[in-house]
């Protein structure tokens, strides 16, 4: 009879320090797992299992939403829907990349960093997707055709380069300066979030009376912002595991909650944007030019290529960096509490 032996699980001080997670004491996979062991480990309880599934299953939810919407929205010939098409593709990409990163991050120390380089790149591209969709459908009435409106997406594409670079770089000082690393990484995610949401902040918080759009999308945007703020708080605080190390190793730690809040926030965002896409089409098409093919797909292709080049550059730097002996440390370190992140 065929039997499958599940990979062994380790405690925090049995794995290299670069694998330590703040407040997580047990459930670590082998730091040099094979690809097969990584896949098998997603079916056993480790401290990464819920992280993997909380982004793998939503990937297919978003793919399903995309396929259903394809039957009602013309993504091929109607230029009005192109920014939404870009957004949907990037909404499907980021949880899938994250799920893969969490699955294969224990193949080696190199693999761990490279997996998360891709994770950060996909998140930056998702931010660009948000800018595409807000620029096309969520701009406050008064800002349509303004200078900000014209440069909103190109600036967001530029931001994606900055943010992927910053978040990838943040892995280098992770052991020596964990607080600097955390600040850099948090900034890399907060900055594009704030930039992308400028139209929403204005529309929801500062715009009243004539020329302001209050429609069915408004409540969805509020829910999205609430979950986005919760996501940021969980990412930065490492609660609840920081208060009770070891208690939430398998279920309930901040990264799992962070994944769930991110996905729920994206769901509300998707529904709100969809509401704007449908309800504002007639109004927007008389006031703003239809999205151009080259501007839409050229920008996203350039952003994709640029982000891949940045990830490639950081991968080469990782392999060649003389200080790599510290971030690629593979020996069991001295006893102590897990690193601050």
Residue number with CB closer to Zn ion (137 or 235): 235
253 is annotated as contributing to ligand binding? no
- The DSSP secondary-structure symbol of 244 reads S
The CB-of-331 to Zn ion minimum distance in angstroms stands at: 26
Residues making contact with Zn ion (CB under 5 A):
98
Residue number with CB closer to Zn ion (116 or 221): 116
**Residue 284: strand, helix, or coil:** helix
Name the phi and psi angles at 37, rounded to 5. -60, -40
Residue number with CB closer to Zn ion (123 or 225): 123
Residue number with CB closer to Zn ion (260 or 270): 260
The CB-of-224 to Zn ion minimum distance in angstroms stands at: 19
CB-facing half-sphere around the CA of 221: CA atoms within 13 A: 26
Token pair of 34 as six digits: 């094979």
CB-facing half-sphere around the CA of 47: CA atoms within 13 A: 27
Handedness of CA 187, 189, 191, 193 (dihedral sign): negative
The CB-of-317 to Zn ion minimum distance in angstroms stands at: 23
Residue number with CB closer to Zn ion (59 or 98): 98
255 is annotated as contributing to ligand binding? yes
The CB-of-319 to Zn ion minimum distance in angstroms stands at: 24
**Which stretch of DSSP H or E encloses residue 147?**
helix 147-169
150 is annotated as contributing to ligand binding? no
Which residue's CB atom is positioned nearest to Zn ion? 98
Cα–Cα distance measured from residue 297 to residue 295, given in angstroms and rounded to the nearest whole number: 6
The CB-of-339 to Zn ion minimum distance in angstroms stands at: 17
Cα–Cα distance measured from residue 144 to residue 131, given in angstroms and rounded to the nearest whole number: 14
Name the phi and psi angles at 28, rounded to 5. -80, 145
Binding-site residues for Zn(2+), in ranges, read 102, 255, 259
Binding-site residues, in ranges, read 102, 255, 259
């Amino acid at each position: 009879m065929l039997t499958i032996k599940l990979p062994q699980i380790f405690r925090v001080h049995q794995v290299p320090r670069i694998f330590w997670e703040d407040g997580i004491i047990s459930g670590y996979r082998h730091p040099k797992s094979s690809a097969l062991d990584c896949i098998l480990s997603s079916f056993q309880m480790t401290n990464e299992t819920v992280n993997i599934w909380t982004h793998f299953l939503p990937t297919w939810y978003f793919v399903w939403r995309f396929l259903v919407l394809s039957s009602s929205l013309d993504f091929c010939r109607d230029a009005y829907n192109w920014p939404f098409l870009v957004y949907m593709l990037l909404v499907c990409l980021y949880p899938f990349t994250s799920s893969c990163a969490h699955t294969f991050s224990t193949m080696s120390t190199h693999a761990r960093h490279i997996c998360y380089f891709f994770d950060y790149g996909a998140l930056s591209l998702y931010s660009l997707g948000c800018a595409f969709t807000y620029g096309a459908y969520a701009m406050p009435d008064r800002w349509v055709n303004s200078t900000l409106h014209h440069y909103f997406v190109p600036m967001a594409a530029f931001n994606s380069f900055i943010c992927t670079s910053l978040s990838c770089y943040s892995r280098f000082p992770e052991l020596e300066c964990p607080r600097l690393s955390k600040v850099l990484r948090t900034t890399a995610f907060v900055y594009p979030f704030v930039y992308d949401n400028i139209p929403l902040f204005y529309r929801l918080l500062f715009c009243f009376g004539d020329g302001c759009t209050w429609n069915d999308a408004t409540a969805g945007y509020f829910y999205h912002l609430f979950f986005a703020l919760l996501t940021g708080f969980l990412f930065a605080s490492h609660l609840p595991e920081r208060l009770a190390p070891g208690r939430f190793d398998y279920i309930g730690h901040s990264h799992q909650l962070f994944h769930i809040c991110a996905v729920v926030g994206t769901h509300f965002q998707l529904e709100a944007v969809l509401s704007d896409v449908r309800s504002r089409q007639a109004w927007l098409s008389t006031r703003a030019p239809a999205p151009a093919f080259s501007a839409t797909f050229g920008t996203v292709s350039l952003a994709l290529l640029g982000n891949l080049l940045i990830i490639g550059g950081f991968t080469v730097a990782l392999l060649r960096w003389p200080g790599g002996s510290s971030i690629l440390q593979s020996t069991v370190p001295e006893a102590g509490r897990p690193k601050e992140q």
